[in-house]
Amino acid sequence: MGPATKLKMNTTTPRVFIAATRQNDGKTTTSLGLIAGLQEHYPRIGYIKPVGQRFVEIEEQKIDEDTVLMDSVFRLNCPLVDMSPIAVEPDFTRKYLQSSNNEALVRKIQKAFDRVAWEKDFVLCEGSGHAGVGSVFDLSNAQVAKILGAKVIIVTQGGIGKPIDEVALNQALFEKEGVEIIGVILNKVHGAKMEFITEFARRGLKRKGLDLLGVIPHQSVLSNPTVDLIREELAAEVLNRTGGLHNLVEGVTLGAMGAPNAINYFKPGVLLITPADREDIIRAAAASLTGRKGDTMAGIILTGDIRPSEESLALIRVMPVPVLHSPQDTYELASKVHDLTVKTRPGDAQKITLIRDLIAQNVDIEKILKRL
C-alpha cells in the first residue's frame, strides 16, 4: 500500500471490527447491543463506520445513518464526521477508478480512527456488507479491518449450511489480508430451532477453526417498520395529527374489496393501503376505529393523484391512527412497502431496549474480550 501505511496510527486502544456475510444481516443491531454490553467493561467507547453507503446530510456533511443512530443512543462524544469518514456517493466509484487516490482514503480512515479513539477505552468498528464490499475502490471490509489493525466478528443469518458456506467465503478474504476472525454471531434464528442450530452451527464453525460467540433469536418487532419509516421512505404526506407514527406495521392489506368485506381486514398492526377515492372504505375504517384506543390498525395510506374529498378529510382528521397520502398507485406503493429495508432509527426506543437485552442475554461478551 506504499507510503500511506508508514503513518503512525493508534495501535494501543482495543478495537473490534463487525462484518457480515451480506447486507441487512444485523451488523448494526449487533453493534448497538455490543456497545451497550462493552460499556460495562469499558466506560468510554468510540465508534467508527469507515465506509458508509446510506447517509443523511448534517451541517453539509454526509454522515452514515448508522453513525447517527449510535451517536444519538450512546452520546459517544466523537466528531460525527470522524465516525463516518467515507461516504460512498453514487459517483464515488467512477471517480475513484479515474484517479485511484487510495493513499488519501487510507490516511483519511487512519486519522478518523485516531480522533475517534482519542481518550477512549475501546473502539467498535462497523463494516458495510460482506468482506468484499468496497473492493472496487480498494477498501473492502477485509482491507479496512487490516488498515485498522482490528480482529473481526462476522454476523450471519440463522441456519446451518448456508451461513457456514457464506462465512467460509468471507473467512477466505479476511485471511488473505492477514486479518484474524475471532468468531461468528448467528442472527434471526427462529425460537423453536435455537438449540438445534446452536449445536450444529457450533460444530460446523469449529471445523473451520471458528468460535460461535452468540445466537440471537428472531424478533419480528425488529424487522417490522414503523408508520413513520414508511412515511419517510415514500415521502408521503400526513393527513391528520392524532399521533401513532411510531406504530409498528405487522402486515399490509390492500383495500381493493367492497367495504363490508374490508372490515374483516382492519386488524391490529395492519397497514391499510387503498385508493384515496374509495370513500366507502374510508367510512368503514372510520366507523370501525371510532372510540377505540390502542390495539387498532397501524395506519392507513391513501394512494393516487386524487386527494380525498372534504367529507373524507373530516373523518380522517379524527381517526386515532395516522393516515398518509401518496400520489403513487396502490400496487406500486404496496411493493415499495414490501421491499423496505427496516433500519433501527434513533426514535425507536422500544426496539433499542429490546436489542440491548437480546445481545446481553445471547452473546458471550466475556469470550469476545478474551479473544481480543
- Give the pLDDT score at 293: 67
In the chain, DSSP finds a helix count (H) and a strand count (E) of: 16, 15
- Residue 69 and residue 211 in one domain: yes
- Give the pLDDT score at 282: 93
- Residue 200 and residue 82 in one domain: yes
- Give the pLDDT score at 147: 96
Q: With bands split at pLDDT 50, 70 and 90, how would you rate the model's confidence at 23?
A: confident
- Give the pLDDT score at 2: 47
Range of the domain at 199: 2-223+345-371
Contact 56, 65 (CB under 8 A): yes
Res 38 pLDDT > 90: yes
- Residue 352 and residue 315 in one domain: no
Q: Residue holding cell 480498494?
A: 138
Alpha-carbon gap, residue 10 to 6, rounded angstroms: 12
- Residue 134 and residue 57 in one domain: yes
Closest CA to 80 of 92, 99, 66: 66
Q: With bands split at pLDDT 50, 70 and 90, how would you rate the model's confidence at 281?
A: very high
Burial level of 3, CB count in 10 A (0-12/13-18/19+)? exposed
- Residue 98 and residue 198 in one domain: yes
What are the residues facing 187 on neighbouring strands? 157
Please write the tens of the pLDDT for every residue from 114-161.
999 999 999 999 999 889 999 999 999 999 999 999 999 999 988 788
- The domain that contains 39 carries what CATH number? 3.40.50.300
Tell me the residue ranges of DSSP E strands in the chain.
15-20, 45-48, 51-52, 55-58, 61-64, 86-87, 122-126, 151-157, 181-189, 212-217, 237-238, 251-254, 270-275, 299-303, 323-326
Residues whose CB falls within 8 Å of the CB of residue 55, separated by 6 or more in sequence, listed in order:
62, 63, 64, 65, 84, 87
- Residue 66 and residue 121 in one domain: yes
Q: What is the mean pLDDT of residues 314-325?
A: 94
Please write the tens of the pLDDT for every residue from 97-112.
998 789 999 999 999 9
- Give the pLDDT score at 4: 47
- Residue 281 and residue 198 in one domain: no
Please write the tens of the pLDDT for every residue from 214-257.
999 988 888 888 999 999 989 999 999 988 998 989 889 898 78
- Residue 64 and residue 137 in one domain: yes
- Reduced to 3 states (helix: H, G, I; strand: E, B; else coil), residue 262 is helix
Number of domains in the chain: 2
- Give the pLDDT score at 351: 87
Please tell me the pTM assigned to this model: 0.83
- Residue 202 and residue 97 in one domain: yes
Q: What is the mean pLDDT of residues 343-367?
A: 89
- Residue 175 and residue 280 in one domain: no
**Average pLDDT value over all residues in the chain:** 90
Please write the tens of the pLDDT for every residue from 178-221.
999 999 999 999 888 889 999 999 999 999 999 999 999 988 88
Q: What is the mean pLDDT of residues 257-266?
A: 83
- Give the pLDDT score at 187: 93
